[in-house]
Amino acid sequence: MPDAIPKPLSAAPVPDRFADIRSWVFDLDDTLYSSHTGLFGQVSDRIQLYLQRCLSISAEEASLVRADFYRRHGTTLRGLIVEHGIVPDAFLDFVHDIDHSPLEPDPALVTAIERLPGRRFILTNGSRSHAERILARIGFGDPFDDIFDIIRADFLPKPHPDTYRRFLGQNDIDPLTAVMFEDLPRNLEVPKSLGMATVLVVPHGTDSVPVEAWETAANAAHIDHLTDDLGGFLSRLTPRR
């Protein structure tokens, strides 16, 4: 049964912790938009279907394989590359072929991110083209200095430490002056160990997130802050600067 990470700190940010932040790093799916849109649910369904077709297995078998790949390899894609030698481009094109219409513009979030001092980045296990479609639907112009996608990571997904190090190195980011925003607790463990501040983004109206016990430490010590309203969280930072 899944455990739940308790709310580690108040959802209201502590401005002093962010005073020296110069690099703002955001996950994409279920972080820059609400999980309530069901958008990543569509991607999840496409991953399931790809597994069934690629391996000629039932839906039930695909669910088991997917859970196994997630645990051992970080993503289904990585598992398929390592264990079945698939061509990743075909996988990415297939799973990201979704209906984006449930995703509406979020001018409050756009404004909050555009006002952040320093540089802004996307670090995603998805593709750049998927990220660009999402950002356009939300209403972003071009506020991000880099979109570091799974292709740039050589298909080695978060939470692998080498992916974070490659991202930080290519963008000349000092982790001590950086913050990571993520919806998956286990993807914040490495950033925290490198010295980054960490913020867990949870679904609206919740103050915890269900996770499997193996995914993360019980006390969630690697999570500095938790919020169910990313735009509101960020907007409370800038007026105090």
pLDDT in tens, 95-119: 999 999 999 999 999 999 999 999 9
Residues 154 and 174 in one domain: yes
Cα–Cα distance for residue pair 216/131, rounded to 1 Å: 26
Q: What is the rounded end-to-end Cα distance, in angstroms, of the chain? A: 43
> What average pLDDT does the chain have?
89
**pLDDT digits over 213-238, tens only?**
445 444 578 999 999 999 999 998 87
Residues 225 and 149 in one domain: yes
Residues 76 and 110 in one domain: no
CATH of residue 66: 1.10.150.450
**pLDDT digits over 142-160, tens only?**
889 999 999 999 999 999 9
Residues 221 and 198 in one domain: yes
Cα–Cα distance for residue pair 122/147, rounded to 1 Å: 5
pTM of the model: 0.89
Cα–Cα distance for residue pair 7/20, rounded to 1 Å: 24
Could you list the beta-strand ranges (E) of 30-90.
none
Residues 226 and 166 in one domain: yes
- As for how many domains the chain has, the answer is 2
**pLDDT digits over 22-76, tens only?**
999 999 999 999 988 999 999 999 999 999 999 999 999 999 999 999 999 989 9
Residues 125 and 60 in one domain: no
The parent domain of residue 67 ranges over 39-95
Q: Which pLDDT does position 46 carry in this prediction?
A: 97
8 A C-beta contact, residue 124 and residue 152:
no
